[in-house]
Structure 1
Amino acid sequence: MHVLVVEDNALLARNLAEVLQQGGHSADFAGDGPHGLKLALEQDYDVLVLDLALPGMDGLEVCRHLRQQLPRRLPILMLTARDTLQDKLAGFDSGADDYLVKPFAPEELLARCRALALRRQDYQLAVGALCIDRRSQTAARAGQALKLNPQSYRILLALAEAHPRILTRSELTRKLWQDEPPDSDALRSHLYLLRQELDKPFDKPMLQTVHGVGFRLDAEA
C-alpha cells in the first residue's frame, strides 16, 4: 500500500511514518495543502490521509480539487480535531471517504487505510493504461480523463470486464438494451463515439474490431 499523508504536524507525521513502515507500507508526506494537492495529482497512491487544518489550502479545498481534477478515484481519509456532526458532514460533502477524529490510535488509522485500499480495488478496473472507476462511472486512459456518454461508458465497462475475451455484437447489444434492442444500428454509433474518446487522441487504438467475431480491448495499446 502506497499512502500520501498530508499533515502539518511534524511529530504526528513521523509517528504515522513509523506505523506505515512497520506494516510494510510506503508513504510520501506533505506539510501543506498545495504541496499535498500537487503530489496527489502527479503520483498514484492507494490512499490519501488528509488533515483538515492545513496551511496554504485546507483539507476541504484539497479534497474538492482532487474530486474535480483527478480522473481516478483516490480514497481519502480525513483527519481533524473537530468532532461535530457539521464538521463531519462538511468533510463527506467535499468528497472524503472516511473521517478520523484526533487523537486516535495509529493502528486504527492503519486499519482504516487498509479498508479503503481494498474498497478501491473492488470498484476500480484496469486494462493496460485504461482505468475505470465503477463507483463514479468514469474512465481514464494514460491518466487522461475520457468524456463518455452513458452508453459509451457501459460499452467500455463491458469490454473491460470481459478482457481479454472478445465480446460479440449480440453480447454487447444485450448488455446495453437487454431483450429490447433498437431498430436502427445504434451500437455502431455508440462504438464510433467511444473510439473518438478512447482512441483518437492516442497513437495506437485500444478498441479493436475482430472481423466476423466482435470487439475487444488491446491492453498493449
Structure 2
Amino acid sequence: MSAVLIIENEPAIAETICYALNTDGFKTHWSATGADGLEQALALRPQLIILDIGLPDMNGFDVLRSLQARLAAPPPVIFLTARTEEIDRVVGLELGADDYIGKPFSPRELNARVRAVLRRSQPKPEAPQPIAAPERFRIFPEQYEIRYYGLPLDLTLQEYRLLHTFISQPQRVFTREELLAQCWDAPEHRLDRAIDTHIKTLRAKLHAVRPQEDAIRTLRGIGYALNPPA
C-alpha cells in the first residue's frame, strides 16, 4: 500500500483528498503546515507528497527545496494550489515537481494523477541480460591450439590443420584431394584413406566435448564439410 503525505492547511480539502485516496487503496497522512509536513516527510518517507503552495508558515516551493536538500532521493511531489497564474506552475515544475493540480479539482482526476506519477517514479525494471553462448571454435595459431566450446582439443598436427581448414571455410565441402593438398606437407605420398582415418579420430575428440553435436559431415563420394552448430 502506497503512503501519501498531504500537506494542506484547509481541513475540508485535506479530508476530501484523504477520503478519495483511502477509498482508492492508498494510506494517507495529513499535515497542516509546511514545518510539520517536513518532519512527517522525513519520518514517514512517503511514496508521494501532495503539497499546497499557499501554506500558512511557508510556501510549498520552500518545502520542496527543503525536501530536496535533506533527502538524497525525495519522493515525487504534486503541487496543489488555488492559484491560476502560469508563473506558479512554471516555477513549481522547474523546481522538480512531478505534477500540478489547481483547485477546485475532481477527486477522480486527483487519484488518476497520483497513480500516474507513482507509475512514472517507479524504477524501470532492468532488461534481462542475454546469456552469452559459448563460442563454438576459437583458434590460437601461435600455440597450434583450437578450443571447442571453450575447451582445448588435444590435436595432432594433421588434425589441427584439418579442423583449421574446415573452420576457415565453414560452408565449403572439401574433397579428399583438397584436404590432402592443404593439410599435408607431402600430399603426393599420402593415400586418400589417411584423410578418413584422421577425420575419424578428429570426430571422436569433438564428440567427447559435445556428444549431441556431429561437427563434421561426410558427403559420400565427395568429401567432408563442417556441420552448422546443433
Please classify the TM superposition score into its range, dividing by the shorter chain length.
Answer: 0.5 to 0.7
Matched residues in 1 for 2:56 and 2:31: separation? 11
- What is the CA RMSD across the aligned residues, in angstroms? 2.2
Structure with higher Rg: it is 2
Matched residues in 1 for 2:97 and 2:30: separation? 18
Q: Could you say which residue in structure 1 is the equivalent of 2:214?
A: none
**Contact 1:64–1:95 (Cα < 8 Å) also in 2:** no
Describe the superposition over 1:78-110 as per-residue Cα deviations: whole angstroms up to 9, x where unpaired. Answer: 001111211111111222111111111011111
For residue 91 of structure 1, give the secondary structure of its aligned residue in structure 2.
Answer: helix
TM-score normalised by L of structure 1: 0.54
Q: Could you say which residue in structure 1 is the equivalent of 2:109?
A: 108
For residue 54 of structure 2, give the secondary structure of its aligned residue in structure 1.
Answer: coil
Matched residues in 2 for 1:50 and 1:59: separation? 6
For residue 122 of structure 2, give the secondary structure of its aligned residue in structure 1.
Answer: helix
Describe the superposition over 1:41-100 as per-residue Cα deviations: whole angstroms up to 9, x where unpaired. Answer: 222211100000001111010011111211113110000111121111111122211111
Q: How does 1:58-77 map to 2 (within 5 A)?
A: 58-77=59-78
- Counting matched residue pairs gives 130
Matched residues in 2 for 1:93 and 1:76: separation? 12
Q: Could you say which residue in structure 1 is the equivalent of 2:53?
A: 52
Unaligned runs of 5+ in 2: 130-230
Closer, same or farther: CA 162–102 of 1 in aligned 2, 3 Å: closer
Matched residues in 1 for 2:114 and 2:44: separation? 17
Question: AA paired with 2:43?
Answer: E
**How much identity, in percent, do the aligned residues show?**
37
Q: Could you say which residue in structure 1 is the equivalent of 2:18?
A: 17
Q: How does 1:182-193 map to 2 (within 5 A)?
A: none
Runs of 4+ in 1 over 4 A off after TM superposition: none
Q: Could you say which residue in structure 2 is the equivalent of 1:41?
A: 42
User: Greater RCO between the two (CA within 8 Å, min separation 6)?
Assistant: 1
Unaligned runs of 5+ in 1: 126-160, 166-221
Matched residues in 2 for 1:73 and 1:32: separation? 18
